[in-house]
Structure 1
Amino acid sequence: MRLCIMFISVVLLMTAGLGSGYAHVVDQPQQDIPSYAKWGRLAMKETKSRYPDADIIDYLHQGREDQEDATVEKFKLWLREDSREFGVFIDIAFDSETEKVRNISFEETSR
């Protein structure tokens, strides 16, 4: 019995010191910024410019298409304007080396 009380006392003393002055730091892995983030921001900016009264309520990166000397980033944004909701497919074509934008196309969809 005496051994049990001693053990409990030691455990209590050890754990009591943990709360005062010691901080356990957990390293959180830094989230990588996706390669399409730059183009997603541009897609949202251009969509907002084209549909100024609409709210962008959803965003989806649909992929990247590599062509001979260009790259196309594809997005689908879901918009709400008054009581109407609709989707817009946005393709951003840019020079693969310089990343200079060549073309931005928009296509509305009901789905």
Structure 2
Amino acid sequence: MKLLITLFYCTAITFTSFVSLELSEELSENQVIHANEEVPSYAKWGRIVMQKTKEKYPDADIVDYLHVGKEEGTNLTTEKFKLWLKGKDSEFGVYIDVKFATDTEQIIEISFREVSS
């Protein structure tokens, strides 16, 4: 039986990294998993995306998280994510784009697009 473990390495204020590990057997008490301690540049946006996704889909669990990439412009930057959600009767993906002002990081728009696979 495979066990999907999702580890969040958080500080009091910022989401620092997200690691998803698939293990073929349960962890023993002596095994330790270390998350990468370096804070990725998209961590702030990933935390916001997960919060907004839970608000939009309150009855679904986030089961997977992927930072797709970044489109950086002179005035606007877009961070792109894909989350996989599991609801009561279905599973589906959601692409989330966070568009913000490059210089001030003020959010301009957060858009959601559902996909079945």
TM-score if structure 2 supplies the norm length?
Answer: 0.68
Q: Of residues 87, 94, 102 in structure 2, which corresponds to 1:96?
A: 102
What residue number does 1:72 align with?
A: 78
User: C-alpha distance in 2, partners of 1:33/1:68?
Assistant: 24
Q: Distance in 2 between matches of 1:49 and 1:89?
A: 15
1:106 and 1:47 map into 2 onto residues whose CA distance is: 9
The structural deviation recorded for 1:70 is 0.7
Q: What amino acid is aligned across from residue 91 of structure 2 in structure 1?
A: E
- The unaligned stretches of length 5 or more in structure 2 are 1-35
In 2, the alpha carbon distance for the partners of 1:84 and 1:67 equals: 37
User: Is the radius of gyration larger for structure 1 or structure 2?
Assistant: 1
Shift of 1:72: 0.2
Higher strand share: 2
Query: Which residue of structure 1 aligns with residue 51 of structure 2?
Result: 45
TM superposition score normalised by structure 1: 0.72
**Deviation at residue 95 of structure 1 after TM alignment:** 0.5
Describe the SS at the equivalent of 1:83. coil
Any idea what the Cα deviations from partners look like across 1:17-68, whole Å, max 9, x if unmatched?
xxxxxxxxxxxxx721000000000000000000000000000000000123
Q: Match of 1:34?
A: 40
Identical positions, percent? 55
In the alignment, which residue of structure 1 is the partner of 2:93?
87
- Report the structure, 1 or 2, having the larger helix content: 1
Deviates more, 1:86-95 or 1:65-74: 65-74
Q: Give, in whole Å, the separation in 1 of the partners of 2:114 and 2:96.
A: 9
